[in-house]
């Protein structure tokens, strides 16, 4: 009995370490900086097989995908870039419309000689993923959209009325001066307010991302992601007016965040939408409910095309 308790304690300790260390990719991954669309994008690449492109959001970098990458690399080539101007990508001061960032992704795929991919997005990455699917439907085998509205699509104007989204209009030189040196305080607001339980966004991850966002030019790039929303609305409405997305789409929402609204939004733009709501999760699906989120994505990717949904 004593031995059993010792083993159980060891397993629990290991699981806690794994939970806390959510930003380290498996050793089989390599990193490289790829010139694309007038900038340089930092990319993590690993595994083999059909490609999956993972696009992060604000408050994260491509490091957020480490647990999913570890699962998918067994039978897929996993590509996880840092978005323009963010993480370890080159500092950038322009080009933050999601239509333009979609071309950053296309350039990365070209450099890696990847013609098609499942495209997965969360938060701002959600919006880039949507723009990529609209611009390159022939290169998007499946689209996975995770817990963020899409500018100009569905109930966008109503969503903007939420007082929780004041940060959409927060930016400019004075706002940057207010945040300078206080990046952790500003980012904690997102990790705390948009989670079901702030304790589920690990402290190790908070420290990791706060350090990256505190580097020169990174908060500026983050603010510009939001400042581009007005043009994103115009671009997306024009894209949707030309025709609806036909590839299979998985819309994932946290039950304490967008929930089923994620699928509702996507049905304004796509014909083949499957809905998954992750229990006990807010916006930060990968951090708050890693296992169920990875399982939902894996299940969708593995499902034969004729069974989607």
**Average pLDDT of the segment spanning 14-30:** 69
pLDDT at 307: 66
**Average pLDDT of the segment spanning 8-15:** 34
**Average pLDDT of the segment spanning 113-120:** 98
pLDDT at 95: 98
Q: What is the pTM assigned to this prediction?
A: 0.92
pLDDT at 10: 36
What structural domains and CATH numbers belong to the chain?
A: 23-307 (3.40.50.1820)
**pLDDT above 60 (res 14):** no
**pLDDT above 70 (res 18):** no
pLDDT at 257: 97
pLDDT at 225: 97
Q: Indicate the pLDDT class of residue 84, thresholds 50, 70 and 90.
A: very high
**Average pLDDT of the segment spanning 263-284:** 98
> What are the pLDDT digits (tens) for 134-185?
999 999 999 999 999 999 999 999 999 998 888 988 888 899 999 999 999 9
**What is the residue-wise DSSP string for 244-277?**
-B-S-EEEEEETTTTTTHHHHHHTTTBSSEEEEE
CA distance 14 to 41: 33
């Amino acid at each position: 009995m004593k031995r059993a308790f010792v083993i159980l304690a060891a397993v629990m300790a290991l699981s806690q370490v794994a939970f806390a260390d959510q930003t380290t990719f498996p050793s089989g991954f390599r990193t490289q900086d790829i010139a694309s669309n007038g900038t340089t994008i930092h990319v993590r690449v690993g595994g083999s097989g059909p490609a999956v492109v993972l696009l992060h959001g604000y408050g994260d970098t491509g490091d957020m995908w480490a647990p999913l990458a570890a699962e998918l690399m067994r039978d897929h080539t996993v590509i996880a870039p840092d978005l323009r101007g963010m993480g370890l990508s080159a500092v950038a001061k322009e080009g933050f419309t999601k239509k333009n960032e979609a071309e950053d992704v296309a350039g990365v795929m070209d450099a890696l000689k990847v013609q098609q991919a499942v495209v997965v997005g969360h938060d701002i990455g959600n919006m880039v993923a949507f723009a990529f699917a609209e611009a390159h439907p022939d290169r998007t085998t499946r689209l996975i959209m995770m817990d963020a509205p899409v500018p100009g699509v569905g109930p966008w104007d109503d969503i903007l009325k939420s007082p929780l989204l004041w940060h959409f209009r927060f930016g400019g030189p004075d706002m940057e001066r207010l945040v300078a040196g206080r990046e952790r305080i500003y980012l904690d607001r997102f990790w705390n307010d948009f989670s079901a339980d702030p304790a589920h966004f690990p402290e190790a991850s908070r420290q990791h991302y706060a350090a990256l966002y505190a580097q020169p030019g990174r908060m500026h790039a983050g603010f510009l992601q939001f400042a581009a929303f007005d043009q994103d609305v115009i671009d997306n409405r024009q894209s949707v007016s030309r025709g609806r997305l036909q590839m299979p789409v998985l819309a994932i929402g946290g039950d304490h965040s967008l929930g089923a609204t994620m699928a509702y939004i996507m049905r304004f733009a796509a014909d083949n939408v499957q809905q998954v709501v992750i229990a006990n999760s807010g916006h930060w699906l990968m951090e708050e409910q890693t296992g169920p989120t990875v399982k939902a994505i894996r299940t969708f990717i593995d499902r034969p095309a004729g069974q989607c949904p």
